Chains A and B, each alone.
Chain A
Amino acid sequence: MSVFIHSVGTVSPLGSTWQATADALALGRTAIAPIVDFDTTGFPCTVAASMSGANARADRRIPLMLQALAQVQHSIHAGRIGVFIGAESGLARFINAFELSRVAGGDANFDHDRFANNIDEALLAAIAEPRTSAASVADSVARHVNATGPIETISLACASSSAALVQASRALKLGECDVAICGGVGADVDPIMLAAFSRLGAVSVRGQSCPFDVRRDGFVLGEGAVAMVLSRERMEPAIEIAGTGMTLDAHHLTTPDSDGDGAIRAMRIALTEAKLDGVDYVQAHGTSTPVGDMVEAKAIRIVLNPTTPVGAVKGALGHWIAGAGALSIACAWEAVANSRLLPTVGLQTPDSEYPLNHVQHRAQDVRARTAMANAFGFGGANCSVILRRCDV
């Protein structure tokens, strides 16, 4: 039984639709710019691909996802609708810290006891909606479309929304729903999240996202949302989810195994399920981190033909964390649905240690029948998804 992607909706700093976003990506445009929504003095990285008008005090996940959803709702036909969203929780977001800090009185001597004893007063007074729950995004989508099927929130860090598509596909095959909305959202351009990733040494001090470039030194945060509609019904263009693979590294919480074992296995499992030896395009996870990109390049060369074209969207749109996987899948969808291989923006000098056939600067208009999207998350979860155009 096959599952097909019917439509893709995206809201990103490069465009308010997938068409606009893809057109901008194809031209090599980048959304990475200095952060203006909060003071970044003292932060190691002061750039991001933020949604314009973003407010550090507001939770942007739900509005972004609903904007993406609006673009695909026309694809939702009658039947039980399932919702599968990749999202993370927000307990430590700045909005919470800001509201909590007000309770401490704000005087020169920070009153720890008062702060700790009056947390509930702060939340009661300040936060009208349940924003700390990761499930709030899926719940909002479900209410919006009157979903009566499964409603799931998948939290696998950077692999969350790829795993959400895997979950949606499985649910459709098992008849748990008739239509599935899946996707993911990233809204981590937040002072505390930026502080956390900065302290980990994971973000680019140079302020550049350049996947697979010899100068790469870390990722740049980005924001946006992707929503997709899936069903068992074949429509034109018939973009099938041909294969998926999920593995765990069990190596390190943030650094992949340098042998690339987890990534290699995930890609091979997806290829085996798709009954393929290779693909026509890879949308890499490509975070612009020294080790991550090296491991992925090595794995791609081991599993696939080294001449396979490779693109990495984080060079232009940054790292959406929980939303990253869905964005990569959207880029893979663009390859097979519209014969457009999106480039790796920001890549100037490809690292020669594990050379790949990079799509650089501008998109390539090449007919691709199959495309792979990789997502390798913090914590060691790996997810590879292969899409196939069935009417070629």
Chain B
Amino acid sequence: MSNISIVGAGAVSPQGFDLVDVDTSGDTFEVAAIPAELESGDRRARKLMGRGAHLASIATRKALMGAKWSDCDQIGFFMGVGASSPGIKDLTALLRSSYRDGALSMESLGEKGLRSFNPLHTFMLLPNFSMCHSALIEKITGPNGVYFSRGTGTVVALMEASYSVESGACRRALCGGADSALHPLTRAEFRRDGRENNGLVPSEGAAVLALAHSDAPDRISVETTSIHPGRRAGLASAAASAVLEISGEVDSCFIVPWGEVARATLRTAVNARWPAIEVHDLSLVIGESLAASPALAWTAAVAKLRRSPGRIAILSAGIDGDIGLVILARERSR
């Protein structure tokens, strides 16, 4: 078994501020107001954060606490992130100041709109800030990567984090995903593409794993991380390929489908191999949060493995059309 192990985990989801419980269904897909005691960074730092960055900072802090890592120097940090933008009200303020004689005026944008643009919001324009805010707060300085993710970018983050520890580029690494599908522009994109009509339930969240080598007998190992392309071959082919890669038996499967077609495809592939296996559908519990979805599912698997040893396969099917496969395992006591 790989000794790249999960030594800490943190999650923020509509379910709350603990690791996702797959057995608890939910009817809300927005993260609740964040308790002050969970916030990291000071108020000024939080003002500079977009939604994804804010959620990531909380999940990162929880993962670090879980791993008992107080010194973050040289820790690797790899995140799947989504599109980033100031809130819609900030854009409307810019536009409101840029109107002249009933039309959008570039001259007005320069003269007045510019002044209404809060410079703090520049820090929300670049997706990498979803990772960098956390790095700044926690003083994380090691190898790093930020992958734009509509699903598999987050799996890449886990692959890179594992590789970085395995190769010795760093001894410890954090990885995960953070995103919000609730931004009006993102939701409009979904509506345009018909995704909400196909079962996508927009949500938000963040989850971070802390990885390191471990020989502890009850460790939770990252056994497998892979991506199965579906954009050309089709989702069914990718799902079948992912299930085929799973050697031996698993105790349960977690699926993270973005919508109905992905759900049906993943269930078909899993049930074709294991007709009676326990399948947990994370999207039904916490909705679809794009870059955060796979990572939230991994932390849900961690929560389950902490309760009882076993082997869990997590299959994610994001709107990018590829399938991510992660297998986490905790050995049973001999």
Contacts and interface: CB of A to CB of B under 8 A. Distances in A.
Given A106-B99, A133-B148, A155-B146, A381 B132 contact: yes
Nearest to B143: A246
Nearest to B114: A195
A97 interface: yes
Contacts of B94: 97, 192, 195
B144 A246 contact: yes
Given A124-B192, A130-B189, A191-B106, A250 B148 contact: no
A148 B229 contact: yes
A214 B192 CA distance: 51
B29 interface: no
B148 A134 contact: yes
Contacts of A135: 148, 150, 153, 320
A110 B96 contact: yes
Interface in A111-142: 112, 115-116, 119-120, 122-124, 127, 130, 132-135, 139, 142
A152 interface: yes
Interface in A219-271: 246-254, 261-262, 265
Interface in B51-99: 72, 77, 81-86, 88, 91-92, 94-96, 98-99
Interface string B112-149: 11100111011111111101110110111111111110
A275 to B, nearest CB: 16
A92 B124 CA distance: 9
Interface in A85-111: 87-92, 96-98, 100-101, 104, 106-108, 110
B215 interface: no
B227 interface: yes
Contact of A104 (B95, B131, B138, B232): B95
A199 B95 contact: no
Q: Could you say which interface size class chain B belongs to?
A: 35 or more
A89 B149 CA distance: 11
A379 interface: yes
Contact of A39 (B84, B88, B110, B123): B110
Given A43-B110, A123-B188, A146-B232, A200 B122 contact: yes
Contacts of A42: 107, 109-112, 114
Q: Could you say which interface size class chain A belongs to?
A: 35 or more
Contact of B141 (A96, A150, A250, A252): A250
The residue among B118, B124, B146 with the most chain A CB atoms within 10 A of its own CB is B146
A68 interface: no
Interface stretch (B9-17, B179-187, B206-214, B257-265): B179-187
B156 interface: yes
Contact of B140 (A246, A250, A261): A250
A167 interface: yes
Nearest to A115: B92
Contact of A379 (B109, B114, B132, B189): B132
A261 B48 CA distance: 24
B306 interface: no
A174 B232 CA distance: 22
Contacts of B132: 248, 253, 378-381
Nearest to A125: B192
A91 B121 CA distance: 13
Nearest to A107: B102
Contacts of B129: 253, 378-379
The residue among A91, A119, A193 with the most chain B CB atoms within 10 A of its own CB is A91
A315 to B, nearest CB: 23
Contacts of A153: 147-148, 153
Nearest to A379: B132
A37 to B, nearest CB: 10
Contacts of B188: 119-120, 122-124
Contact of A157 (B96, B128, B135): B128
A186 interface: no
A196 B320 contact: no
B83 A133 contact: yes
B193 interface: yes
Contacts of B82: 89
Nearest to B45: A253
Contact of B189 (A132, A151, A154): A132
B136 A250 contact: yes
Contacts of A38: 106
A156 interface: yes
B276 interface: no
A40 interface: yes
Contacts of B98: 101
A90 B232 CA distance: 25
Contacts of B126: 88, 155, 157, 378-379
B38 interface: no
Nearest to A90: B83
Given A148-B232, A196-B125, A108 B99 contact: yes
Contact of B184 (A40, A119, A146, A380): A119
Nearest to A246: B143
Contacts of A191: 106, 109-110
Contacts of A67: none
B104 interface: yes
Contact of A195 (B113, B142, B186): B113
Contacts of B156: 150, 152
A352 interface: no
Interface in B178-205: 183-189, 191-193
A98 B141 contact: no
Contact of B81 (A90, A115, A155, A160): A155
B128 A377 contact: yes
B191 A124 contact: yes
B57 to A, nearest CB: 13
30 contacts: A40-B110, A41-B111, A42-B109, A89-B82, A89-B84, A92-B85, A97-B94, A97-B95, A106-B104, A116-B92, A124-B191, A133-B83, A134-B148, A139-B231, A148-B229, A152-B156, A155-B128, A167-B145, A197-B122, A199-B117, A199-B122, A200-B122, A246-B144, A249-B141, A250-B139, A253-B48, A262-B141, A379-B132, A380-B136, A381-B146
Interface of A: 38-43, 87-92, 96-98, 100-101, 104, 106-108, 110, 112, 115-116, 119-120, 122-124, 127, 130, 132-135, 139, 142, 146, 148-157, 160, 163, 167, 170, 174, 191-193, 195-201, 246-254, 261-262, 265, 377-381
The 10 closest A-B pairs by CB, nearest first: A42-B110, A379-B132, A91-B85, A199-B119, A39-B106, A42-B111, A89-B83, A153-B148, A120-B188, A196-B122
